[in-house]
Amino acid sequence: MSTILPHYKQILKVTSLPNTSGVYSIVPLFTDNYLQVSINLLNNFNVNNLKQYAGVFKSKRAAEELLRELAKQFNLCLKLCGLEKTQHGCFAYQLKQCYGACVQEEAADEYNERVSMALLPLRFKSWPYAGEMQVAEKCEVTRREVVHYIDNWVHCGTTVGGKGMRNFLPMEERAEFNYDEYRIIVGYLSERE
């Protein structure tokens, strides 16, 4: 097995990041009809709830920096983005860069639409299949084929030539979500389209 070097597994080994320990994500939640955003440490990351997360970041600071850029670009409230703690309007509201969601001057629907638009490119893609998919790769050196089994963005296992043990754990017991694997799988599926 060590002589087989599938293309996508090579990429994973070169660019691998920690699974989810010390990784953050932006999570929007409704509070008083307005979408409020928090930056959460991803512990026990559940692949069945990917839709609730927007982006994955190596540090809280990286998430905050991107959120500040999005707040400026989309005129979002710094208070509702969790970037300021104040009892009154946020600093951007004083500068007329926030339309007043923090003091409920802006309609919640309008504000929530901008938050959704800002976070849309960061959202995880939905799993496009009803269940598991198989990806076959052939090693150019050994001419042997390996088959990767993938379900809900999680690499479940690999067999040589499609033969061998397929005793993979049930989805709820499988390995944690790995953002690097997610990026590789999304890239692979995009190439196929």
pTM above 0.85, yes or no: no
Classify 98 as helix, strand or coil: coil
Classify 20 as helix, strand or coil: coil
Q: Does the pLDDT value for residue 165 go beyond 80? A: no
- The values of phi and psi at residue 36, to 5°, are -105, 145
Band the pLDDT of 144: cuts 50, 70, 90. confident
Band the pLDDT of 44: cuts 50, 70, 90. low
Classify 30 as helix, strand or coil: strand
Band the pLDDT of 2: cuts 50, 70, 90. very low
Measured between alpha carbons, how far is 78 from 93 in angstroms, rounded to an integer?
A: 9
